[in-house]
Amino acid sequence: MNVDRKLLAILVCPICKGELRYDRQAAELLCVADGLAFPIRDGVPVMLPEEAREMSFEEREKAR
């Protein structure tokens, strides 16, 4: 599922306000700095910290 590029350009991590990376295959927005992956459900990013999952060390390294 695609997410609007304009939306992606303005979204930041709700915790650190840092850059997010879009993982289209996993339908997630990744904050490498915090090691969190925010889900995208029905094309809508869910930017709640309690909904994010922790990324593994390998995922963080790969996303850098």
CA distance 21 to 39: 12
Instruction: Give the three-class secondary structure for 43.
Output: coil
Structure tokens at 22: 């879009």
pTM of the model: 0.91
Confidence at residue 34, expressed as pLDDT on a 0 to 100 scale: 97
CA distance 42 to 32: 23
Q: Which domains does the chain have, with CATH numbers?
A: 5-63 (2.20.25.10)
Confidence at residue 1, expressed as pLDDT on a 0 to 100 scale: 59
Write out the chain's pLDDT in tens, 64 residues.
Answer: 577 889 889 999 999 999 999 999 999 999 999 999 999 999 899 999 999 999 999 999 998 8
